[in-house]
Amino acid sequence: MDLASAKMIGAGLACIALVGAGVGIGNVFASLIASVARNPAAQPQVQPFAFLGFALAEATGLFGLAIAFLILFVF
């Protein structure tokens, strides 16, 4: 196996983190919608935590994408 194909395989494996980020973001906002639907008065208390969860879930995907770009273009 040459170096170029190994880099492509490594970058593809690093992008698996994007799938986890998508699932995490879906779970965060599904829970937000369910909780606001049950108790609309709780939205101001629940929404900041949902945005924090969104940011943390998205950060894991961005870290995986950054690793994939490092594999492709730096090494």
pLDDT value of residue 1? 80
User: CB burial class (10 A; 0-12, 13-18, 19+) of residue 26?
Assistant: exposed
pLDDT digits (tens, 9 = 90+) for 39-72: 999 999 999 999 999 999 999 999 999 999 999 9
Domain ranges (residues) in the chain: 3-73
Task: Give the model's confidence band at 17: pLDDT under 50 very low, under 70 low, under 90 confident, else very high.
Answer: confident
For domain 3-73, give the fold. Answer: F1FO ATP Synthase (1.20.20)
Q: Residue 8 has which token pair?
A: 């492509």
Share of the chain above pLDDT 70, in %: 100
How many other CB atoms sit within 10 Å of the CB of residue 22?
Answer: 13
pLDDT value of residue 47? 95
Q: In the predicted model, is pLDDT for residue 75 greater than 90?
A: no
Buried b (16+ CB within 10 A) or exposed e, 34-68: ebeeeeeeeeeeeeeebeebbeebbeebeebbebb
